[in-house]
Structure 1
Amino acid sequence: MMFFSIKRIEVKAFPVRNSGFTLLEMLVVVLLVALLSSVLMQGFVYMAGIYGAVERRQDLARSQYLLEGWLRDSIQGMVNGVDGPVGKGVRFEGDETSFKGISLEPLVGLEGQGGATDGISLPHVRVPHKIEWRLEQTVDAVKLRYGESIVTGERWQWYNVREWKAAEASLSYWYNGRLITNFPEKSHSGTDGGMLLPSGVVLTVRGVRTNFSVFIALNSNPKKYRSPVASDDM
């Protein structure tokens, strides 16, 4: 008679791992994402700063170009008197804060005078205008303003052209090989000698962020004005 012995086999069950990240793995991932985001943010801020600086420089250069163009157009069109009972007595006068006179190239002209031409623009007609450039100093800034009026009119149109923060500005005039702060000088301020023009006008701005000088030469004859009618009578 045969006997069989059966051994009991024990099977150990291994724990089944759920799919997903452990807390440590999540902390490592969060740390890496935070570091990467910090690096990217620093680069973004740096590039935004560079872009802003370039954009400000371009705006400054554009505004400077426009300012010089406006000054050049109006100043180079100035004349030392025009014919007529009203215009022939208007002379160029200037000091450190303003200058005025007659220009054949106003910035706005008849188109902005309202009613002078019934709203019709006449760009081909060079009508003399009284113009004035003025510096107005405030507590923390200086403003450059421009005004004009037709020679026979008294209504002035004023415009704010530029403003410089934390700056000072002044005007000077090139005449007889030197810069002067008042034109005409006292020696030429008589009735006859006053009808003169300087050779150029200089705008100087000095400030914390803005420092420049603009020289605009006059194209007109700087000699004393002589009316053609008066010359014929002589």
Structure 2
Amino acid sequence: MPVSLTRRYVLAAMASLTLAASPALAQQDAPVVAAASDLQFAVEEIAAAFQAETGMRVRLSMGSTGNFARQIREGAPFQIFMAADEQFVLDLHRDGFTRDEGDLYAIGRLAIMVPHGSALTPDPELDNLAEMLAAGRITRFAIANPDHAPYGQRAREALMTRGIWDDLQPFMVLGENVSQAAAFALSGNAEGGIIAHSLALAPQVAPQGTYALIPEDWHEPLRQRMVLLNDAGPVAEAFYDYMMQPAARAIMERYGFVLPGE
């Protein structure tokens, strides 16, 4: 185990002992975790399990990785940053905003998802999307905004690989993040969209439509990295380390994430 992780496990254990002796502190000192929106349902489960097991609580702020990185640079009071693209974390570390380079916690996947009743059929190669587009039968198609959302950036790369990015432009609906893109895709006002596999698997989302995984070699990998910010306290340290534990990893795996070391 790397030295940095070993040290954090020790710190987390110490924090657990201290906070167990001070329930009031455990409830009041709730650090804010800035988490990419593809984690919405997975990290909510993990935070609930963490609180049940340790008595410690974190507050979750979900959004696009690019927007969070900008807010961190502007002084936002986050203690953990869970990015959907590791480059944002590495850039923040280079510029002195984080304790270290953090840890890779997952690799994400893209899926095309369509609502029930849509004329569009989800398939891995996006053949039906291309056919319907050529036939003038696409009115709206959703992805996350590629200007600041990694899942939007990778969706753009996948659509470019398939050769339909330019033709799809007039019909594109952009979500502020991939969670909003999923809402747009399944609203009934769009034929579908490209979203995070983790969202397509979520019990709150899965019943609304059908999906197909997009080939992972159609885009750059979604290497997701998390990091402690410079002002992170003991509760944040404990939650960070909990993310590495079997209980949290099992939840991440259930939501379709590829885990480091597996």
Shorter-chain TM band: under 0.3
Q: TM-score, normalised by structure 2?
A: 0.22
From the CA coordinates, give the structure whose radius of gyration is larger: 1
Structure with the bigger percentage of helix: 2
Higher relative contact order (CA closer than 8 Å, sequence separation 6+): 2
